[in-house]
Structure 1
Amino acid sequence: MTQVGQVTARALLRRLAVEQSGSRIPSIVAAVVRDGQVVWRAGRGATTGPEGPGAGRVPEGGEPTPATQYRLGSITKSMVAVVVMRLRDEGLLDLADPVGKHLPGARAGEATIAQLLSHTGGLTAEPPTDWWERTPGVEAGELLGRLGPGQVRHRPGRRYHYSNLGFGLLGEVVARLRGVPWLEAVRAEVLEPLGMRDTTARPRPPHATGYAVHPYADVLLTEPEHDHGAMAPAGQLWSTADDLARWAVFVAGDTGGVLGAQTLAEMREPATVDDGDAWTGGYGLGFQLARHRGRRLAGHTGSMPGFLATVWADPADATGVLFLANTTSGVGRGLLFDLLDIVEEHEPRLPAEWRPGVADPDLLALTGLWHWGPAPFTLRLLPDRGLSLAPVSGGGRASRFVPQDDGTWLGLDGYYAGETLRVGPDHLDLNTFVFTREPYEPGTPVPGGVGEWHTPTT
């Protein structure tokens, strides 16, 4: 289906076809979302093939459809994280809680809930079991009983170290605080409200068969699929292109009442980066993060034996991209970035029309030039009675503020995030710093007092 122009659709389809052919992917489906709607979707390849020794040379199933299920892999983690954040918002846990507070006896070091969500808890990447992605899972009690000092690899908070085990533990936290299995909580609190009714723990027809593609021959090997027990929150779910599109809309900011907008924005904030100074990839609270050509994307990749999936969303312009494929490896990281670039190149958004607004006269009087000592700042009035305070030079300590019921202003971002701005008759008091209309203006309550400007003598 398509709501983009024919030229755009052809360019998107060609890019998908090049990926499927060049990377030898049995089948792949991809989609682009804009403003809450799927504007392009296409599939290539065949979803199933003959089974048995020597078979599988050519998949025989039809092209993937919007209803064809694939495994999501670690995209599951983001959905579990949403329930964790709902628990936080309800006051049932604190992100600073050590996981042991909610899983008594769990030998998981001192990792906190927030650190498990951001993969900075120091836990080992994989659980103390057999290769968990290719074998039946153990129950939560057995998994917790196997934990010990050997599962702690780094000091909590020291570094980013991706941990599937950490999300197994978070799934159990959800289960204990909700009193139902993690999947029931995710279904009731995330999937159903978002209309994701084709997202399930085990496959249902029609679904793609998971394959590994031989590295040196055009033949396939069928990968196993199991219920992964206590590790299921790390990668169990199956879903469709249409359901994953609904998820992309959610990540882009249309929360559907599942989360508050501020909580979702908190999840998309970078808690850590995974490529050092380059900062092209990182992790928030349950979301992977990426930067691409000025975009700040949130979403997640997914990988399980026989399947790959990825979803990215750009909240700044309500755009999302996704793919689902039935191959253990091969889909390039650049596919979705290229799809974003094609849409931007062929159908760039027009900026919203500027329209004048209504300003409170008292707030309007506050706008203009203010000084932090000798440094000039500009105070601007934003929509919905917000304020923006930024250096005239364009760099440095810029922040936005929103009004509070007590007449103060709360910092939203930048250096003054969470700090309080108070407006006086002739000055601004921002967390002990005093801003005045003139540099160190006499008669204003500048701490330390104000002398006279003078020329030094020799």
Structure 2
Amino acid sequence: MATVTTVALLLIAGCTGARGAAESPFDQVDGLIGGDVADELRSTLTEAMERSGSSGAIAGVWAPWSGSWEVAVGTTTPDGDTPVSTDMSFRAGLITTGMACTVLLRLVDEGKVQLNQQVGPVVGVPGLDGITFAQLCQQTSGLGDYYGPIRRYLISNPERVWPAAELLASGLARDRAGEPGEKWSYSRTATILLGIALEEATNTEFAELLARYVSGPLDLGGTALPSPTDVELPGAAAAGLVATPGGESRCTTLSDVSNLSSSAGYAAFGAISNLEDLRVWSRALATGVLLSEQSASAQWATVPRGTSAESWESYGLGASEFGPMRGIASEIPGSLTAAYADPETGLTVVVALNNSTAGVDFVRRTALALASIGSKADAAEGREMPLVELPWSVEQMLEAMREQGVCEPSAADESDESEG
């Protein structure tokens, strides 16, 4: 059954629209998080930027009972002097997958597809027996992941246009992780197949489905799946950096993959977005405001994230659950992103780094560290500080983040950290 919060949000959505429904329950304080919490948030973001080898970082933490913290640090290029800003666009990466699965669930609500429907007959591709739409989003399809074998080509030729059918074929040629429904194993191939199937089921391009069912209802003006040949981010943006394969240093020998074709990720990781849009999206995803009660419940009927996952780590339809925080972390060439929200308290965190070398665990731990710090923000006058029960400490996340880092922080930052 849906939570009381979800039911209330669905009622609100009928009156205020999806964006208002995502915002209304939390009554976000219109003020800034300050003091020691703001200092610790900035210190953590700056350290993450430096340890990942990024030239710039953008992040936001929103604690509805206290206020907001939105900060950009660093510059758009390693040797440049143009500062990054909080309104810059960046690549959403695997956050696109959560949006694709929300499109699926909205089509389920409209009766156009079913979660337990087999996807093979829809796309007319052999070898997909037993694989359902739900399994594609739950990451239990058993399909191999196409991303690893082509990643080096994305770095050497980021502007190449990749037909979705070619990506699918590459993934289908990989060894299977198991039988459909047998176990959780992350596969971007599954989401490529999902995108193709949704297009076939609706006779509509995925970019239009994304606009119709996600970015349009939520008024996400900076979120879209660009044309495969529209490789530049709109407006001023930070460069996309990644360690050059076979280079002398993972920290300093870098390739610029700023102009990455959306076709490389398509429905799995092709979208672009910005800080404000991902704040709204994260809360909408976590609370299920775009969905019916039944679909919202189905999205968060989770399974363990593999056999080595912590007891508080699980996966729904297109996104993870870490303790109370729901969302997605991502690595694609040139970008690390993460966005999480707590559906009960509204605590929300978004992080974007412009060097992908340190990997997805690095940015996830950065985001969860920021969530831990933000959860301790003092309540504004007239508000009450909620209990946000996170099953990790900021120290645990920072230690893990540092282990994943590829560069050492500057002497100045190490000095500041020791003084704190």
TM over 0.5: yes
1:185 deviation in Å?
0.7
Q: Which has the higher helix share?
A: 2
TM-score by length of 1: 0.67
Give per-residue Cα distances to partners, 1:79-119, cap 9 Å, x unaligned.
11111001111111111111113112343342111111011
**Where does residue 158 of structure 1 map in the other structure?**
182
Which amino acid in the other structure matches residue 194 of structure 2?
L
Any conservation in 1 of the 2:351–2:363 contact (CA below 8 Å)? no
d(CA) in 2 for partners of 1:143 and 1:16?
Answer: 34
Instruction: Evaluate the alpha carbon distance shift between residue 17 and residue 120 of structure 1 in structure 2; reply closer, same or farther with a 3 A threshold.
Output: same
Which amino acid in the other structure matches residue 44 of structure 1?
V
**Where does residue 252 of structure 1 map in the other structure?**
286
Q: Percent identity?
A: 23
d(CA) in 2 for partners of 1:74 and 1:239?
Answer: 12
Instruction: Evaluate the alpha carbon distance shift between residue 10 and residue 147 of structure 1 in structure 2; reply closer, same or farther with a 3 A threshold.
Output: closer
d(CA) in 1 for partners of 2:170 and 2:363?
Answer: 36
Instruction: Evaluate the alpha carbon distance shift between residue 92 and residue 234 of structure 1 in structure 2; reply closer, same or farther with a 3 A threshold.
Output: same
RMSD: 2.9
Which residue of 331, 353, 366 corresponds with 1:325?
353
Which amino acid in the other structure matches residue 342 of structure 1?
I
Please list, as runs of the form range in 1=range in 2, the aligned pairs for 1:49-198 lying within 5 A after superposition.
58-126=78-146, 130-131=150-151, 133-134=154-155, 136-142=160-166, 150=174, 152-198=176-222
Please list, as runs of the form range in 1=range in 2, the aligned pairs for 1:230-379 lying within 5 A after superposition.
231-253=265-287, 255=289, 258-276=290-308, 278-291=310-323, 296-330=324-358, 331-347=362-378, 350=384
Any conservation in 2 of the 1:33–1:249 contact (CA below 8 Å)? no
d(CA) in 1 for partners of 2:342 and 2:240?
Answer: 29
| Greater Cα offset, 104-113 or 87-96 | 104-113
Aligned length: 337
* 1:30 and 2:59 aligned: yes
1:5 deviation in Å?
3.0
**Where does residue 19 of structure 1 map in the other structure?**
48
Instruction: Evaluate the alpha carbon distance shift between residue 189 and residue 45 of structure 1 in structure 2; reply closer, same or farther with a 3 A threshold.
Output: same
Please list, as runs of the form range in 1=range in 2, the aligned pairs for 1:374-413 lying within 5 A after superposition.
none
Higher RCO by CA contacts (8 Å cutoff, separation 6 or greater): 2
d(CA) in 1 for partners of 2:317 and 2:150?
Answer: 28
* 1:205 and 2:263 aligned: no
Any conservation in 2 of the 1:108–1:152 contact (CA below 8 Å)? no
Instruction: Evaluate the alpha carbon distance shift between residue 41 and residue 170 of structure 1 in structure 2; reply closer, same or farther with a 3 A threshold.
Output: same
**Where does residue 8 of structure 1 map in the other structure?**
37
Instruction: Evaluate the alpha carbon distance shift between residue 336 and residue 229 of structure 1 in structure 2; reply closer, same or farther with a 3 A threshold.
Output: closer
Any conservation in 2 of the 1:20–1:27 contact (CA below 8 Å)? yes
1:279 deviation in Å?
2.1
Q: 3-state SS of the aligned residue for 1:30? A: strand
Please list, as runs of the form range in 1=range in 2, the aligned pairs for 1:31-46 lying within 5 A after superposition.
31-35=60-64, 39-46=68-75
d(CA) in 2 for partners of 1:5 and 1:97?
Answer: 50
TM-score by length of 2: 0.72
Any conservation in 2 of the 1:274–1:283 contact (CA below 8 Å)? no
Instruction: Evaluate the alpha carbon distance shift between residue 180 and residue 41 of structure 1 in structure 2; reply closer, same or farther with a 3 A threshold.
Output: same
Q: Which has the higher strand share?
A: 1
Larger radius of gyration: 1
Give per-residue Cα distances to partners, 1:226-258, cap 9 Å, x unaligned.
435384111111111111111122123272xx3
Which amino acid in the other structure matches residue 251 of structure 1?
L
Instruction: Evaluate the alpha carbon distance shift between residue 127 and residue 103 of structure 1 in structure 2; reply closer, same or farther with a 3 A threshold.
Output: farther
Which amino acid in the other structure matches residue 274 of structure 1?
G
Any conservation in 2 of the 1:26–1:326 contact (CA below 8 Å)? yes
d(CA) in 1 for partners of 2:385 and 2:330?
Answer: 34
Q: 3-state SS of the aligned residue for 1:300? A: strand
1:10 deviation in Å?
2.0
**Where does residue 403 of structure 2 map in the other structure?**
none
1:63 deviation in Å?
2.4
Any conservation in 2 of the 1:128–1:147 contact (CA below 8 Å)? no
d(CA) in 2 for partners of 1:128 and 1:17?
Answer: 29
Which amino acid in the other structure matches residue 210 of structure 1?
G
d(CA) in 2 for partners of 1:38 and 1:169?
Answer: 40
d(CA) in 2 for partners of 1:227 and 1:17?
Answer: 29
